[in-house]
Chains A and B, each alone.
Chain A
Amino acid sequence: MAKNVLLVDDSSTMRKIISRSLRQAGLDFGEIYEAGDGQEALVMLEKESIDIVLSDINMPNMNGIEFLREKANRPAIKDIPVFMISTETGEDIIGEAKSLGAIGALKKPFTPDKVNEVLGPFI
Chain B
Amino acid sequence: MNSCIELSDKLIESTIEIFTGMVMMEISVAPGPMPKLGPLRKSITGMVGLAGIHKGVLAVHFPYQVATAVTSNFLGMEVEEINDDVQDAIGEIANMLGGNLKTILSDRGKDIQLSLPSTIYGDEYSLASQADVDQIILPFQTPVGIFYVEVELER
Q: Which residues of A contact B (CB under 8 A)?
A: 10-14, 16-17, 20, 58-60, 86-94, 107-111
Contacts and interface: CB of A to CB of B under 8 A. Distances in A.
Interface string B91-111: 110011011101100111110
B116 A87 contact: no
Contact of A89 (B21, B91, B92, B99): B99
Given A58-B99, A109-B17, 12 more contacts: A11-B92, A13-B85, A14-B92, A20-B76, A60-B116, A89-B99, A90-B102, A92-B108, A92-B109, A107-B99, A110-B22, A111-B22
Nearest to B17: A109
Contacts of A16: 75-76
A92 B22 contact: no
Interface residues of B, number: 28
Interface in B106-139: 106-110, 114, 116
Contacts of A111: 21-22
Contacts of A10: 116
Contacts of A108: 22, 95-96, 99
A92 B21 CA distance: 26
Contacts, number: 73
A23 to B, nearest CB: 11
B21 A17 contact: no
B108 A109 contact: no
A89 B109 contact: yes
Contacts of A14: 92
Given A10-B116, A87-B96, A93 B110 contact: yes
B95 A87 contact: yes
Given A93-B109, A93-B110, A109 B75 contact: no
